[in-house]
Amino acid sequence: MIRGNDPLYEAYETPAYPSRLYHRINIAMIDFTSPYACYANQTLSWLPMDTQDLYLRNLKTNKEKLIANGWVDTEITYTFNSHGFRCNEFTSDPTIMFLGCSYTCGVGLPIHASWTSIVASKLNLASANLGIGGYSSDTAFRLCYGWIDVIQPKLVVMLQPHASRFELVKLIANNSVEIKTISSFSYDVHKSFYADWISHDSNSELNSLKNLLAIKSLCTERNIKFINFTLSELHSNDWARDLAHSGIESNKQFAKRVLSTI
């Protein structure tokens, strides 16, 4: 999805900075497609971070933990709408929009057990879950900016992704772009730059803050209530199927916290 409502700013050129390298932001060319677009209209049994290989390894090395959390031979499905988000199709029904990473997407959990589904159900609102596993607050802002006027939510709730992640847009063949999330997981690929970036906490903290304030501004301009939570507020007392994300009971408790704030 390309958002084309904003003015197309004229590029300009100087001897030191040719226009192809140095130009004002062209909002109309930014891609607001879901990183899960490749799964659009599909139902999957596994997802990155909750893979079958990981499950089989955990059966060998962490079987007691899987049993304790009820995940042995327990099926989970990941169903994506036509836009590549883990929720039903967007409609004109009153909607709550969720932003965040895998903890918002509900990786390792049946969708009904995720905090987003519990909150939406209790409020009797449709759920627009824009959470993307492994992505950043950059992604949350990019998707919010691209979809908020399409979804027109009554309420926006964000569970902030890890501040150490950010997006990098890379120009590839035929003037198309590839959007990557840079994090500790991609350290070897972007070793020099990422090492500099994480050498001081202000880089990650300011980047996260800028996105938070930008999302809040988008909501304020539209008279939409916005609520933000940090990952430290989601306590992991049990585990999802991948044994890395918060489990069913933890999601129930966090949903109560969100509802009490609303």
- Mean pLDDT for the stretch of residues 190-201: 77
How far is it, in rounded angstroms, from Cα 233 to Cα 215? 20
pLDDT tens for residues 169-186? Answer: 777 777 676 776 766 556
For the chain, give every domain's residue range.
Answer: 1-30, 41-261
| CATH 3.90.1690 assigned to 41-261 | no
Question: Residue 34 has what pLDDT?
Answer: 94
Question: Residue 167 has what pLDDT?
Answer: 80
- The pTM (predicted TM-score) of the whole model is 0.85
Question: Residue 30 has what pLDDT?
Answer: 75
Question: Residue 131 has what pLDDT?
Answer: 98
Given a cut of 90, is residue 214 above it in pLDDT?
A: yes
- Mean pLDDT for the stretch of residues 10-16: 41
- Mean pLDDT for the stretch of residues 59-69: 97
Beta-carbon contacts of residue 209 (< 8 Å; ≥ 6 apart): none
- Mean pLDDT for the stretch of residues 37-45: 97
**Portion of the chain with pLDDT greater than 90, in percent:** 70
Question: Residue 139 has what pLDDT?
Answer: 94
What's the whole-number average pLDDT of the chain? 87
Q: Please state which of the ranges 55-59, 164-168, 205-209 shows the lowest mean pLDDT.
A: 164-168
HEC profile of the chain? CECCCCCCCCCCCCCCCCCCCCCCCCHHHCECCCCCHHHCCCEECCECCECHHHHHHHHHHCHHHHHHCCCCCCCCCEECCCCCCCCCCCCCCCEEEEEECHHHHCCCCCHHHCHHHHHHHHHCCEEEECCCCCCCHHHHHHHHHHHHHHHCCCEEEEECCCCCCEEEEEECHHHCEEEEEECHHHCCCCHHHHHHHCCCHHHHHHHHHHHHHHHHHHHHHCCCEEEEECHHHCCCCCECCCCCCECHHHHHHHHHHHHHHC
